Amino acid sequence: MATVSQQCVIVDGIHWFEITIGASGFTPGLNRGVILVDGNLVTESEFSPNGSILPSTGSGPGGPAYGAGQHNVTAFHDANENRQLDPGEASATTTFIGITCGPNPCTRGSFSSSDATDMNTITTTRSMVKTIYVEKVVFNCQEESRANVFWPIITDVSIYTEIIEGPTAAPPIKKFEVITCNKNATNGDILGCKHEVPSSTLPAVYSCSQFPRTLPVEMNTVVVAPGIVKTIEVEKEVFNCDMPNKPKITKDVIIFTEILENLSTGTSEKTFETVTCLKEIGIAKVIACKATPPTPF
């Protein structure tokens, strides 16, 4: 009889899986026992006096052991010592689906590009200028698929920053929106999406350090009116920070530089806007975003 036992344990606050694969009930005195999972060797040993094969044990954070989906276990007396089940060799089989223990905190996923940002700027017939800047962050998370079974998911978080400016000297309108989508990490199926407006209240953070990655820069130039052009340049810098009772906070600092030029007179005006967004990595959530003009120095 081939057996598989699994359980979840907590190690230093992280959920780990533990798995044991064994076999028993063979004729005592056989010389060599082998256990395969999906055709791959996991253990081989002499049979014990009671006809058992030395079990294979394993553990790790999250899971599932041996990957997602159903797995096949084959235990047998390897009389030919070739690690293959041959005709006539005593054997036992079973199947299992590895559990995923959690939920564990989300972690930052791999960036598909070093420049996970984009920006567009358009003008209207009333000399209105609208700029849309988007940044995307990918997280590896877990979702409870059934009681005490957690499935790996990919969480895509996109932050849209909109700046709308009119022909007058009135302050520009700034808006934020967050789109979050979850995908099954094993087959790519979309599990759902939602949109929300983040808070504009930025909590205090501390112990920040610059995140070592390429700093993306975007730039657009549009015609506002005959002879009048506007250039918008944006750059982003990322910091890893802490908050009380909320470690692993990402702080995005985005600087918009706008240059309005009159090509007829050769004059120009320069203005600046800054945007700060805080994201909590452990739950893949945007905590807050706020736009403020920087103070001159």
pLDDT tens column, 12-31: 667 888 999 999 999 988 88
> Same domain for 115 and 249?
yes
Domain hosting 93: range is: 2-97
What is the mean predicted confidence (pLDDT) over 105-133? 80
> Same domain for 145 and 83?
no
Task: Give the model's pLDDT for residue 19.
Answer: 95
Identify whether 65 is part of a domain.
yes
Please provide the distance, in angstroms rounded to a whole number, between the alpha carbons at the two ends of the chain.
Answer: 77
Which among 69, 97, 125 is the end of a domain? 97
Q: What angle do CA 269, 274, 275 make, to 5 degrees?
A: 145
3-state SS, residue 123: strand
Which among 41, 74, 97 is the end of a domain? 97
> How far, in Å, CA of 178 to CA of 187, rounded?
25
Task: Give the model's pLDDT for residue 115.
Answer: 56
> Same domain for 142 and 236?
yes
Identify whether 136 is part of a domain.
yes
Task: Give the model's pLDDT for residue 169.
Answer: 63
CATH at residue 30? 2.60.40
Q: pLDDT tens for residues 134-166?
A: 999 999 888 776 655 667 789 999 999 999 987
> How far, in Å, CA of 172 to CA of 266, rounded?
24
> How far, in Å, CA of 190 to CA of 46, rounded?
48
Identify whether 102 is part of a domain.
no
**β-strand pairing of 228-243 with 217-225:** antiparallel
Task: Give the model's pLDDT for residue 16.
Answer: 85
What is the mean predicted confidence (pLDDT) over 262-287? 92
Number of domains in the chain: 2
> Same domain for 113 and 52?
no
